[in-house]
Amino acid sequence: MDRAPESPFVAVVTGASSGIGAATARRLAREPGAALVLIARRQAQLDSLADELGGATVIAADLTDADAPARIAEVVEREYGALHLLVNNAGAAWRARFADGGWENVRRHMELNFDAPVRLTEALLPLLRRTAAGAQPQRDGPRVAIVNVSSTSARVSRANSGGYTASKFALAGWSDSLHLEEQSYGIHVGLVLPGFVATEGFPQAELVGRAATRWIVSRPELVAEAILDAGPGGRSERYVPRAYWLAAAARILMPGVVRRATRGGGLMTPTASE
């Protein structure tokens, strides 16, 4: 981003208390004029991160609460009156076969991983549009952006993770439609699709303990860079690691092969945390 320090760049990051969200907040804080709004359930972790960054607006909220989107929108409007970047990162995964977890497992995933970012975006969209309308055109990217953090599971499903996969598929599909609808208002919508990422709660020991699989586990800092590419950078979507796009392409070109390759289930990755 190429913005003068006196020109605030207001960014909202959900799931900011750890993992990808915290890494994204740290990365954005290095940008000139960045004003951050950090959202997660855990107040203490948010306060600690805000202190580390030299200040930020902190909102402790459960995004599945009915009043959370309106409360967040009111704070951003009151304190900044503008919003340049919304990073919908908060999410979680609870592994279960459908026969065991049933609809409740699917509902739980959809509530946090899909419904919550949709509801928050709805609450903040008027402010995003007003900001885009009044912003100066940028030479190096869009004036205003939304980044939805999905998962490679949005392209390639796995056994024992149907609820998670469904929520991430929904988020990816909605992101494409939202971009088409909002681009005329000056709002870009980008999508980030991480694979295995070493975050809090991710059972990484099994993968990082073996040389053959260690390379597929990425770091939150790399996802944070991808979020900047897909937001202020104007990219449509980014896989992390980049080579994961091959799995998505294989799913389209060779679906039977991919089904056979993934039928054993195995580990999955929470792409975000709260």
DSSP per-residue letters across 14-51: ESTTSHHHHHHHHHHHTSTTEEEEEEES-HHHHHHHHH
Give catalytic status of residue 80 as yes or no: no
Residue 272 near residue 91 (C-beta atoms within 8 A): yes
Please give the C-alpha separations between residue 119 and each of 23, 54, 189, 243, 256, in angstroms, as whole numbers: 24, 30, 16, 32, 36
| Helices 245-253, 255-262: inter-axial angle, 10-degree rounding | 120
Rounded Cα distance, 187 and 115, in Å: 20
Structure tokens at 189: 């919508």
Q: Which of 80, 164, 185, 239 is catalytic?
A: 164
DSSP per-residue letters across 154-193: GTS--TTBHHHHHHHHHHHHHHHHHHHHHGGGTEEEEEEE
Neighbours of 214 (CB within 10 A): 11
Rounded Cα distance, 234 and 183, in Å: 11
Q: Which residues are catalytic?
A: 164
